[in-house]
A and B are shown apart, each in its own frame.
Chain A
Amino acid sequence: MATFFGEVVFSASRAIDDEDDDDSFVNENSEVITLDLSPAFSKPTNDVGKATDQLVLTLGPAANVFADCYILHQEKETVGTMNKRLDRDGQPIEGAILSRLREHTDVLLCKCVKDIEQHLQFSFVEQLFSFLGNSNTSVTILSSCSGSDYKTHRQDVSFPILRCLKTSSFTGEVAAPHLEPPNTISGLASSALSYCQIHGIPAVMYVIYTDSIFMDSGAITAFNPLLKLQPFRKVAKKTNNFQGIIKAAVDRPSNLDSLYT
């Protein structure tokens, strides 16, 4: 059953007769995701949410490395983390890190470092936006998809390509063409964008379609058109270690690459 508008539910096949009693099966209903604030930000007086005008949500390795190269290398403070737990009292597994720059405290960056499972996505989005509580917050979502998911009649598509989707309340400029139908977005990006649409929050989502199954520098630099627009125009500064960060993200350990000798 869909839990929110736009959620795509993949139902299990009834053709499979799974009689095995799997003791290690994790009961999805007991898994939770919680927003744990850092001590400095958990005081009631420190209302980060109300002070935030811009939220940047980065999903996937390309978006995360882009954030590392242009934003997260600057002096920042960790506001909190979104942690997954097997149950309420279980060990936390860091799912996303919320940080903001000391120089620009009105911009909050939420960097998803792990995939958030489908059944946790709604809770994630709800907690994040409840924390913000500021109806004037503008949201930018960065994500990436495989090029094989991109549906088009055109023959001359060359990846990576950047597309966007925005909510009806977003009136700002966009840095990429709109995502053409019948392409759809799924996952946490779609959950967040749908939430913003329902609650009238101005939001824009940028998605990179890339044809490489491994991270490549083209996918990271494909987000560059965003640097001309807010909030990146205000906060983005290219790190001195730009090549180093890209190389570390792109390099696969050569001893694990057994395809070529």
Chain B
Amino acid sequence: MSDRYDRAITVFSPDGHLFQVEYAQEAVKKGSTAVGVRGQDIVVLGVEKKSVAKLQEERTVRKICLLDDHVCMAFAGLTADARILINRARVECQSHKLTVEDPVTVEYITRHMAQLKQRYTQSNGRRPFGLSTLVMGFDYDGTPRLYQTDPAGTYHSWKANAIGRSAKSVREFLEEHYSEEVSASEHETVKLAVKALLEVVQSGAKNIEMAVMKRGEPLKMFELEEIEKFVAEIEKEKEEEAEKKKQKKAGKET
């Protein structure tokens, strides 16, 4: 049935599907996982680092990109499409600054990207962008923001979200562990993002990249040692948890 309705982007199927858009969402699942968590004073993006070829320059394989001094994004999906979208967003950030003499709000630039993506779902001869993005940053009034866009051109604000491979299981983890207490502490917010990524990243800190933004400060990319400290702390907590459970069980049996 879908054979007749999935070739052209501008054709709805009888049951209301736009198959090309849905297929673009499948392309997102082929990208590695990206996680975003919004705290009260901090916003965090964490990504699963792709392994690079031996002769490849690692710094050219980046999932986290700055759109402006106060806005940053991570993406999952087609690399080439991401490059185009990021370039357009960066130009728009500067154009906005020159025109209205104010930096963009996170919502504005997210909406701009979402509108661009939507346009590509409604014109003939084009295909949708095969990527989802997590856009984070601080508005000029100091409010932290986290938005997600998808290939259909929708965007929503989130407290915490994940995109890419295994996004569903990471999102479920975030739903279970996110709380206002966690978001109140900068340390706990970062730890939550690392913990969520460790659910799907096999080999630990060396395959994780973290970026944080605090109010009034520029974007900070974590060094490997800093991420390893978080991973060590999380593993210690897990061991203590397991030990407590064991003792509890032993206590019950006696």
Residues of A near any B CB (own CB < 8 A): 155-156, 158, 253-256, 258-261
Contacts and interface: CB of A to CB of B under 8 A. Distances in A.
B84 interface: no
A210 to B, nearest CB: 17
Given A155-B3, A155-B4, A260 B53 contact: no
A259 B32 CA distance: 12
Contact of B75 (A253, A256, A258, A261): A261
Interface of B: 3-4, 27, 30-32, 50-53, 56, 61, 63, 75-80, 82
Contacts of B76: 260-261
Given A254-B50, A254-B51, A255-B51, A261 B61 contact: yes
Contacts of B32: 260-261
Nearest to A156: B3
Nearest to A154: B3
B27 A255 contact: no
Contact of B77 (A155, A253, A255, A260): A260
Contacts of B3: 155-156, 158
Given A155-B3, A156-B3, A259 B51 contact: no
Given A155-B3, A155-B4, A156-B3, A261 B31 contact: yes
Given A155-B3, A261-B75, A261-B76, A256 B53 contact: yes
27 contacts: A155-B3, A155-B4, A158-B3, A253-B53, A254-B51, A255-B50, A255-B51, A255-B52, A258-B79, A259-B30, A259-B78, A259-B79, A259-B80, A260-B30, A260-B31, A260-B32, A260-B77, A260-B78, A260-B79, A261-B31, A261-B32, A261-B63, A261-B75, A261-B76, A261-B77, A261-B79, A261-B82
Contacts of A258: 79
A122 B51 CA distance: 45
B48 to A, nearest CB: 10
A180 B53 CA distance: 44
A222 B189 CA distance: 49
Contacts of A158: 3
B19 to A, nearest CB: 14
Contacts of B27: 260
B199 to A, nearest CB: 19
A253 B77 CA distance: 17
A259 B76 CA distance: 11
In the complex, the 6 A-B pairs of residues with the closest C-beta atoms, listed nearest first: A260-B30, A261-B79, A255-B53, A260-B31, A255-B51, A261-B31
By CB atoms of chain B within 10 A, which of A158, A255, A258, A261 has the most? A261
A205 B53 CA distance: 40
A8 to B, nearest CB: 30
Nearest to A158: B3
A78 to B, nearest CB: 33
Nearest to B62: A261
Contacts of A156: 3
Contacts of A260: 27, 30-32, 76-79
Nearest to B165: A260
B160 to A, nearest CB: 21
Contacts of B61: 261
Contacts of A155: 3-4
Nearest to B47: A261
A258 B80 CA distance: 9
B14 to A, nearest CB: 15
A107 to B, nearest CB: 40
Contacts of A255: 50-53, 56
A158 B31 CA distance: 26
B53 A261 contact: no
Given A254-B51, A255-B51, 7 more contacts: A155-B3, A156-B3, A253-B53, A255-B52, A255-B56, A260-B32, A261-B82
Contacts of A259: 30, 78-80
Contacts of B78: 259-260
Contacts of A261: 31-32, 50, 61, 63, 75-77, 79, 82
Nearest to B28: A260
Contacts of A254: 50-51
B47 to A, nearest CB: 9
A258 B53 CA distance: 10
Contacts of A253: 53
Contacts of B56: 255
Contacts of B51: 254-255
Contacts of B77: 260-261
A158 B51 CA distance: 34
A189 to B, nearest CB: 28
A253 B56 CA distance: 14
